[in-house]
Each structure stands twice: as structure tokens, then as C-alpha cells.
Amino acid sequence: MLVTAVECQECNSIVYSRADGDVRSCICGSIMVYGGQNHFRYDAPANSKHQVKKIKVNLSLAQLYEDWDSMKDEFGLITENQDNEVSNVSYTC
């Protein structure tokens, strides 16, 4: 499925919110995403380098919810060295 995510170009990580109550921040902490995919919101400092993207992940919304609910935290943060989560990053924005 496609998820709305924010790429932080300062720490080269991509974050997205998995569920309504999920709050995630990128590695350097400047980007914060929340609200799940239905109510997606994010905070970023005005001068930070970041880009909002649609990315494709091989996961269902239920899997994302379960990952958040069980606090496994396997998903929601994608770093340069860990791109198995994304099958095909598509740059629609």
C-alpha cells in the first residue's frame, strides 16, 4: 500500500505514522509524524530540509497497526541501510 511519509534530508531517514495514536520522529528528531494514514500530520522546523512523499510498503494497514499496538516498532522508520521495507519508492510529490 501507499503511505504518506516524510523524508528528513538531514539524517536521511523516512518516517510515517502507522496508526491514529502513533507518533514517530526521524533519527535526528527534527521531523515528527502522527495521526496515522487517515489523519496524517507532521511537524518540522521551518528551516529543515525535508520532503513529503508517498511511498509503497509491502504491508497492510492491519500489519502497521499491529506493529504499533504491540510496540514491536519494526516499521514506520526507514533508514538508508534498511530498505527492505520499501519495495519501490515512488516519488509522487
Binding site for Zn ion (CB under 5 A): 8, 10-11, 26, 28, 30
Least Å from the CB of residue 25 to Zn ion: 8
> Can you read off the three cell numbers belonging to residue 26?
526521524
Indicate the residue among 21 and 45 with the shorter CB distance to Zn ion. Answer: 45
Least Å from the CB of residue 29 to Zn ion: 7
Least Å from the CB of residue 18 to Zn ion: 18
Indicate the residue among 19 and 78 with the shorter CB distance to Zn ion. Answer: 78
Q: What is the largest CA-CA distance in the chain?
A: 35
Instruction: Give the Cβ contact number of residue 71 at 10 Å.
Output: 6
CA-wise closest residue to 67 among 12, 28, 32, 21 = 21
Indicate the residue among 1 and 28 with the shorter CB distance to Zn ion. Answer: 28
CA–CA separation, 48 and 87 (whole Å) = 27
